[in-house]
Structure 1
Amino acid sequence: MKETKGCSSPAMDELLALTGLKKVKMTAINLYKSALQFQRMPADVRKKNPLNLNYCFLGNPGTGKTTVARLFASVLHDSGLRSKSTFKECTAQKLKDDGVDEFRKLAQEALDGVIFIDEAYDLDPAGDKFKGAPVVNELITLTENERARLTCILAGYEDDMNAKIYAYNTGLKSRFNEVIFEDFDAKELAQIWTHMRSQRGWSEEDPRLTDVVVRRMMKSCGKKGFGNAREVRKCLEAAAERAMGRADFDPEAMLLQFVDVVGEDPRSNPKLQRVRDDIERKTGWKKIKKTIDVLIMVCGTNYQRELDGEKPLPVFLNRMFLGNPGTGKTTCAQLYGELLKNLGFLSSGDVVFKTAGDLGGSVVGEAQQKVLGVLQSAAGKVLVIDEAYNLNDSMYGKQVLDVLVEKVQGGENDDIAVLLLGYEDQMLSMLREQNPGLARRFPPEQAFYFEDYSDQELMQILRVHCQSEGVKPTMEFQEKARKKLDMLRRSESHFGNAGAVMNLVKAATLEASSRAQGEGQIRLEPSDIDIGPEDDVQQDPFAPLDKLYRMDGIRKKLEQLSNAFAVAQEEGDEAPELGHFVFTGAPGTGKTTVARVMAQILFHLRLLAKDRVQETSGLNLTGEYVGQTKKKVEEQLEAAKGGVLFIDEAYELGKGPFGQEACTAIVAAMTDPKYAGVVIIIAGYPGDINKMLDSNPGLKSRFTHFFEFPDWTAGDCVDLIQKRAAQGSYGLTAAAATVLEEGFQHLRKLDGWGNARDVDKVWKASLQQRADRVVEKSEGAEKTLQASDVQPAIGNLLAARRPKAAPSMPMFSWDDLSCQMPDSRTKEQPTESLKLGEAEATPAPAEAAPDPMDMEQRDPGVSDEDWQELQQAKEAFAQEEARVARELQELEERLKEEAARREQERCIPRSTGTSFASYTRDGSCANMKSLLDFLRLLLCLSLQTAWKPGMTLPGL
């Protein structure tokens, strides 16, 4: 155009001389061509076809938007499109701060020229209705009313302009011509680097240095925020500063070396080695130290690969710090910041601490704004988010994580490192449940795992802390502190580690301060620690079992388990698995009691951290809706941490879908390291427990010990009564003991036998009977239980347990009987069954069988008073038996009468097969004999007498 049209524009020449910016240059050339054609049009035509000279420059910083805008003002003037080359520059934030009136004044000053608004997205009219919206509204007016005299140029990121400016008014975008400023490519970045370096008088020691600089910058090229020419300038200024700080720097040569651009080799960097030494001196941290060594090694390999022009190995800056409290996560975060700074990843290396609560919000959008602000303030630093798992609990936490996924890429040039701190299980759960990108930003395999300190490490921390606090722990105190900390470790879900040590020393110091001590350091003694019941080597841990009955087999199994642990400890072998237990037996056999005793035994053997039993039932663990069951199981397991979880009536766990859910939760807990210190005991009836375990092989395989609890004998029951009487200073007569033994013999054969529970009922009832007797007869204060006290107590329990009378039994129904009109033969001749019943109902006294109780001989040494009392008790027992016989005989008579009445009725037979009502051909009730035999059986059961069909009994 210079040659053909004679055009001259120094501004256009300068613009075309800029590095890169191909699209921008084409826009400027096309603008100049349009201007030439426009000037050739008649004035009236130009007025009817005005050009749109408002522009929106979109791109990353450092691409020359401001420089090009200034040149555009001159190009517009040179081309004749504007009468002046006026250029007014401002930022969106300044326009908002000054107000719309100042904006109007600025626009008037820029008439016939250009007004340039940088970072125009900050006007954000939708988000800032009081300051930003008025300015944007005025801008819309200017672009329409003053388009012939004023050119408005906006600049900013493309996505922000679309989201914050154009979205506010759909007609706004059409008022501006968009000009895209692309990031510089590798060749252009190299040209800019060489040009800037030469301008400042620097030269390169090695020609490969430019390639290294460009490769580093190209890692960020194309990403939002990449500084382009500014990034080159920043890199050059940083390299120059390092060069001038070198001891061998020559001001005359002005040479840039590799070390000035990429830093020192991590394998020989003294500053980095000092940080590494600080980490190495920390107690514990075995995995952490290994992970940091690997990081330094990878960075050293990348250093050489970068010089050779090879692609570096990936390095992860953003990590999770996983572990229990007190393991040094916060301390490690500070050292990690120094480490990354000396590796060249961070410009500052300082640490910004935040908690999950600091990032949350109370209204929609607040959380995102908080996170963006925190990320901006943490540039060049390490951002630590403690207790990050709390972000998994609410919608606002989810918003925070989504912003982190969007903004934190984890690149080596991000100049920020984000650390998420928390418990391992909860943090990994958050990764699974939240934005999938979160696991890519914070890969679990790259996490720092902080293990709990060992006993030896805890003692080392204790000694160091005591020294810093000015107190002196004795060796005995340290040993007891070790036991206390071991108990805490096994009983707490999240052991406090160093924090637990500090709390223990603090409490012990306060206790020691209360004692009278001499001048000098405070000595910490074993008595300053409350550890609970201690392991007394002189005490038999199995002694509590001696108070129970039928415990020989159980005691033997527990002793075998104890011996296995003792031998393993003595020989230095791995301790056998403690496992879990199944208790089967009837009620009252001591299952719950043994569970409590077992917790104490295992605690004294140092196999459990607590001697406490968390008691529950299978029904209590079963929820009523999806998810409740698992929560109930976890609550009970947490309460039982370090001790015993006793689940009575565990067979309920096998019933229904929620019961199966509870079984699944328990199986999972048995293999979860979190509950490694919990011993689970399930108990119940043998048949029900076995059925439940057989239906769930996975659950059954988790139990390694099976204890059977046999029923008590009558002698066990009487012995317990005698021991209770002795404890209460009561006497128990021989006659009372005999009545009790005979009564328990009968009682234990009936359904519902409760073993110790029934003994307890009889004991309490006997005391009540004695109290009634003493008050009624106004006897003396002699504390003696007689046969007359215990006989009603056990007799009432026997009566309640005996089978109920026949009318209440559902197996017999008159509706099942079919009958026909009897003939004369039926009326004259009674059935064989009725004759048998009548004969048995009135036996001859002389033929009656002798009562075994009457044949019992009096033992030597039994006093007349005791013998008389025993005979009275026997007589009362016989009277009770006679009463039951009379009731059964009366029932039989009523049945006979009802049968006779029914025989007079005519009905259609309804019974078939093996129905109870089967009739003979002549209409008599053939099964009446069976009914009578059944009634006799009921009597025999109440008398505990063996019986065979057809036998004759007194009273029937």
Structure 2
Amino acid sequence: MHELLLFGQVPASRHDQLTAQHNYGGNAVLDFLLAEIENNVGKMKVEDGMGGLYVRIVIRHLGRGRGQEGFGNAGALQNMFFKISERQAERLNRERKEGFRPDDFFLTKEDLIGPDPSKAIIKSKAWTKLQDLIGLDTVKESVRSMFGLIETNYHRELKEMPPIEFSLNRVFLGSAPARPRWPSFVTRNPADFIGGALGQSENNTKAILATTIGKVLIIDEAYMLYTGTGTAGNQSDPYKTAVIDTIVAQVQSVPGEDRCVLLLGYEDQIVEMFQNVNPGLSRRFPIADAFHFQDLSDAEMRQILELKLKDQGLDATERAKSVAIEVLARARDWPNFGNAGEVENLLGKAKTSYQTRQPLKPLSERSLDAIFEVQDFDAGFDREADAATNLQKLFEDVVGCESVVSKLEGYQQIARRMKYQGLDPREQIPTNFVFKGPPGKVL
């Protein structure tokens, strides 16, 4: 097993030689790296041979990093060895659990170039979890399209054709789900980048980017890197400007770049930032390729509500669920709607209301089964019953507004009929009005 343990290491003397030959180009470096693989493999055997197709693909993968800032032959070679040995170790463990006796000194096609994407996606827990999420149809389609391109490139490389180039860096617009907590994902917010002195923002940004090579860097609420006057190229905070300029300089969005950067934020703020900061940022993170996390529909929110109630051992009357969706629908009209997060917040409010009501009941009427009522989700759920009276009171001190009151009463009647039929009144009733002419006389 000694040779296997050495497989992921570059000997010190060879490391020095590689460092001295930092970033050679052309066939010379590829020949050198191929010789390095042969020296490290020792007794290892490779599917299709050391000069075969799969080793050539590995060499091409390694060669794509040449010319990029920070690329080093030694470091890249070590990373390549580590990935191959990691895939081999996973395969050996899997095959032994299945009762096979694999050869520890044999590297398969999958060890060298990774699994077939069409098979990997089926086994992917992340992909399965994404499909189980309610809504997010546009996001699912975007991911499916990206997987299709990855699969195409996989087969192109097997034919020794150049892959179709694309960048992994993306913008996530809207209210994205909870951030993943995997070791390969690093989440940072703008405060982690911004320094308090000249030069500090650049250093912070470079350090974060350097430590996320080979990982996914998530910059949450990325629009907070912009605090400007709203005119292109004019940003009032030099420390934030330095962060964006450094990201533009360090993140090239070219094939072979061993890092994925995700900018997360609400669409309006992200678009405004892109329009007013270093134009290189929008070239590296095209809005046209953004993942759009759209607001949930009423049906999707109800589905999430019922799932959360079930998971937490709670329940609600059918009328209460309908009222809850009405509350969420109104919240959706406001900026920065939180989708599933809004449902969880409303549930928290309902729990508090329910617990407040319980002591007011006789002991004989209290139950361990928490069943929410309409007032738990909305204390003013019956506001419609007094809507006509409230409208009259609103204008009772104003003279000459009878036609206005009549018009609004007509809208109230339409709203009641549409809600009774399960329709959304907002699709037929205007919510913005213009009052023209002199004001009425107040008594």
Which TM-score bucket, shorter chain as reference? Answer: 0.7 to 0.9
Match of 1:189 among 25, 30, 41: 30
Letter in 2 for 1:251: D
Letter in 2 for 1:756: K
Match of 2:202 among 368, 379, 383: 368
Q: Are positions 1:200 and 2:42 aligned together?
A: yes
- Quote the offset at 1:543 in angstroms: 5.0
* Gap change, CA 1:353 and 1:220, over 3 Å in 2: same
* Gap change, CA 1:187 and 1:232, over 3 Å in 2: same
Taking the TM superposition and a 5 Å limit, the aligned residue runs for 1:321-336 are 321-324=172-175, 327-328=176-177, 330-331=178-179, 333=180
Match of 2:354 among 512, 536, 550: 512
Cα separation, 2, equivalents of 1:230 and 1:249: 33
1:359 maps to: 193
Letter in 2 for 1:235: M
1:392 maps to: 226
Match of 1:209 among 41, 54, 71: 54
Identity of aligned residues (%): 26
Match of 1:438 among 281, 289, 306: 281
Match of 1:408 among 230, 247, 251: 251
Q: Which whole-Å deviations, capped at 9, do the CAs of 1:338-362 have from their partners, x for residues lacking one?
A: xxxxxxxxxxx52222211222111
Q: Which whole-Å deviations, capped at 9, do the CAs of 1:714-741 have from their partners, x for residues lacking one?
A: xxxxxxxxxxxxxxxxxxxxxxxxxxxx
Q: Which whole-Å deviations, capped at 9, do the CAs of 1:38-75 have from their partners, x for residues lacking one?
A: xxxxxxxxxxxxxxxxxxxxxxxx9978349xxxxxxx
Letter in 1 for 2:37: M
- Quote the offset at 1:533 in angstroms: 5.6
Bigger-Rg structure (1/2): 1
- Quote the offset at 1:296 in angstroms: 1.0
1:527 maps to: 375
Cα separation, 1, equivalents of 2:82 and 2:440: 91
Does structure 1 retain, via aligned residues, the 8 Å contact 2:193–2:243? yes
1:496 maps to: 338
1:484 maps to: 327
Does structure 2 retain, via aligned residues, the 8 Å contact 1:266–1:299? yes
- Quote the offset at 1:295 in angstroms: 1.2
1:13 maps to: none
* Gap change, CA 1:233 and 1:194, over 3 Å in 2: farther
* Gap change, CA 1:560 and 1:496, over 3 Å in 2: same
1:31 maps to: none
Does structure 1 retain, via aligned residues, the 8 Å contact 2:395–2:405? no
Q: Are positions 1:235 and 2:80 aligned together?
A: yes
Q: SS at the partner of 1:226? A: coil
- Quote the offset at 1:408 in angstroms: 1.7
Q: Which whole-Å deviations, capped at 9, do the CAs of 1:388-436 have from their partners, x for residues lacking one?
A: 1111012211111111111122345333222211111011111111111
Does structure 1 retain, via aligned residues, the 8 Å contact 2:222–2:264? yes
Q: SS at the partner of 1:384? A: strand
Taking the TM superposition and a 5 Å limit, the aligned residue runs for 1:24-103 are 66-67=16-17
* Gap change, CA 1:410 and 1:63, over 3 Å in 2: farther
* Gap change, CA 1:396 and 1:506, over 3 Å in 2: same
Does structure 1 retain, via aligned residues, the 8 Å contact 2:221–2:265? yes
Q: Which whole-Å deviations, capped at 9, do the CAs of 1:124-161 have from their partners, x for residues lacking one?
A: xxxxxxxxxxxxxxxxxxxxxxxxxxxxxxx7xxxxxx
Q: SS at the partner of 1:679? A: coil
Cα separation, 2, equivalents of 1:449 and 1:356: 21
1:716 maps to: none
Taking the TM superposition and a 5 Å limit, the aligned residue runs for 1:506-905 are 506-514=348-356, 515=358, 516=361, 518-528=366-376, 529-531=378-380, 534-536=383-385, 543=392, 547=396, 550=400, 553-554=403-404, 557-558=407-408, 679-685=432-438, 756-757=441-442, 760=443
* Gap change, CA 1:403 and 1:286, over 3 Å in 2: same
Match of 1:316 among 167, 174, 196: 167
Q: SS at the partner of 1:264? A: coil
2:103 maps to: 251
Letter in 1 for 2:340: A
Cα separation, 1, equivalents of 2:408 and 2:135: 37
Letter in 2 for 1:534: R
Q: SS at the partner of 2:72? A: coil
- Quote the offset at 1:524 in angstroms: 1.2
Q: What is the alpha-carbon root mean square deviation over aligned residues? A: 3.5
Cα separation, 2, equivalents of 1:306 and 1:520: 62
* Gap change, CA 1:182 and 1:317, over 3 Å in 2: closer
Cα separation, 2, equivalents of 1:204 and 1:397: 50
- Quote the offset at 1:546 in angstroms: 8.7
Match of 1:426 among 266, 269, 289: 269
Letter in 2 for 1:185: G
2:134 maps to: 283
Match of 2:317 among 467, 474, 497: 474
* Gap change, CA 1:65 and 1:240, over 3 Å in 2: closer
Does structure 2 retain, via aligned residues, the 8 Å contact 1:473–1:525? yes
Task: Report the TM-score, using the length of structure 1 for normalisation.
Answer: 0.38
* Gap change, CA 1:64 and 1:684, over 3 Å in 2: farther
Unaligned 5+ runs, structure 1: 1-61, 69-117, 119-154, 156-179, 338-348, 579-606, 609-677, 686-753, 761-956
Q: SS at the partner of 1:683? A: coil
* Gap change, CA 1:283 and 1:423, over 3 Å in 2: same
* Gap change, CA 1:357 and 1:224, over 3 Å in 2: closer
Does structure 2 retain, via aligned residues, the 8 Å contact 1:197–1:203? no
Q: SS at the partner of 1:535? A: helix
- Quote the offset at 1:451 in angstroms: 1.0
Does structure 2 retain, via aligned residues, the 8 Å contact 1:190–1:210? no
- Quote the offset at 1:255 in angstroms: 4.4
* Gap change, CA 1:230 and 1:443, over 3 Å in 2: same
Q: SS at the partner of 1:536? A: helix
Task: Report the TM-score, using the length of structure 2 for normalisation.
Answer: 0.78
Letter in 1 for 2:27: A
1:297 maps to: 148
Does structure 2 retain, via aligned residues, the 8 Å contact 1:382–1:416? yes
The count of residues paired between Structure 1 and Structure 2 equals: 404
* Gap change, CA 1:302 and 1:755, over 3 Å in 2: closer
* Gap change, CA 1:301 and 1:459, over 3 Å in 2: same
Q: SS at the partner of 2:384? A: coil
Does structure 2 retain, via aligned residues, the 8 Å contact 1:193–1:232? no
* Gap change, CA 1:218 and 1:564, over 3 Å in 2: same
* Gap change, CA 1:556 and 1:270, over 3 Å in 2: closer
Does structure 1 retain, via aligned residues, the 8 Å contact 2:23–2:71? no
Does structure 2 retain, via aligned residues, the 8 Å contact 1:383–1:418? yes
Cα separation, 2, equivalents of 1:227 and 1:249: 37
Q: SS at the partner of 2:128? A: helix
Q: Which whole-Å deviations, capped at 9, do the CAs of 1:342-388 have from their partners, x for residues lacking one?
A: xxxxxxx5222221122211111111111122223323322222111
Q: SS at the partner of 2:134? A: coil
